[in-house]
Amino acid sequence: MAVIGRSGAGKSTLLKLIQGALAPTAGTVTINGLSASAWGDRMPEVISVLNQSPHLFDTTVANNIRLSRAEATDEEVLQAAEAAQLGPLIASLPKGLDTPMRETGQRFSGGERQRVALARVLLQNTPVLILDEPTVGLDPRTERELLSTVFRTTQGKSLIWVTHHLVGAEQMDEVIFMEHGQIVMRGTHVELLEKEPRYRNLYQLDRPEG
């Protein structure tokens, strides 16, 4: 599902409700019948998050990936890194995955940092993944490549994707458009294109090909 809307529309608030970080003043949020806030410490087994600026620690690349599942084997960490398309980058590092991030010679680019964060999320292997504008600040090509890796590697999971761009919305089962804390449009990309002139305008404006 893609969640779109202007700044202040309520997108992050919706994500906090889903993650049980905020309790609704009206209505309910449940995951498998259990109130979202009741999941507590078990929430990381259900929902993982890829957000705008992933936090990378001053340790090895492997440790940064393993953060989501401390008991993961080296093989599992490598598999997650390769799925996130980090293979060539890691092969170029002096000690591969065991290279400290600060000794990588070059600073990781924004797209590479997001791929390390994606490897971490893939290792966490939750049924639900929240993407909170993970491509902000990336150039259009890097954005497209990262999203295509994300969509390919998370087949079968539920994705909730907050985005300012409509690029990629065609691939979602459902698009919701928020305004002033309300959902004002909701449907598949094709439905919204057909019946919502506003959506059609936004989509035209946002297409990289113009």
Ligand X SMILES: Nc1ncnc2c1ncn2[C@@H]1O[C@H](COP(=O)(O)OP(=O)(O)OP(=O)(O)O)[C@@H](O)[C@H]1O
Could you give the string, one character per residue 12-51, with x where binding to ligand X holds by CB under 6 A and - elsewhere? xx--------------------------------------
For CA atoms 32, 33, 36, 39, give the dihedral sign: negative
Among the residue ranges 2-10, 63-71, 93-101, 143-151, the one whose residues contact ligand X (CB under 6 A): 2-10
Question: Among residues 2, 5, 56, 104, which is the contact residue for ligand X, using CB under 6 A?
Answer: 5
CB of 81 to Mg ion, least distance (A): 29
d(CA 10, CA 5): 8
Pick between residue 49 and residue 122 the one whose CB is nearest to Mg ion: 49
Residue 7 binding result from Mg ion, ligand X, none, given CB thresholds of 5 to 8 Å by partner type:
ligand X
Burial call 66-105: b when 16+ CB within 10 Å, e when fewer: bbbbeebeeebbbebbebbbbeebbeebeeebebebeebe
Span from 10-18, 29-37, 71-79, 199-207 in contact with Mg ion (CB under 5 A):
10-18
10 sits near ligand X (criterion: CB under 6 A): yes
Q: Which residues contact 26 (CB under 8 A, 6 or more apart)?
A: none
Q: According to the binding rule CB under 6 A, does residue 54 interact with ligand X? A: no
Selected binder of Mg ion within 12, 99, 153, 188 (CB under 5 A): 12
Residues that bind Mg ion (CB under 5 A): 11-12
- Interaction site with ligand X (CB under 6 A): 5, 7-13
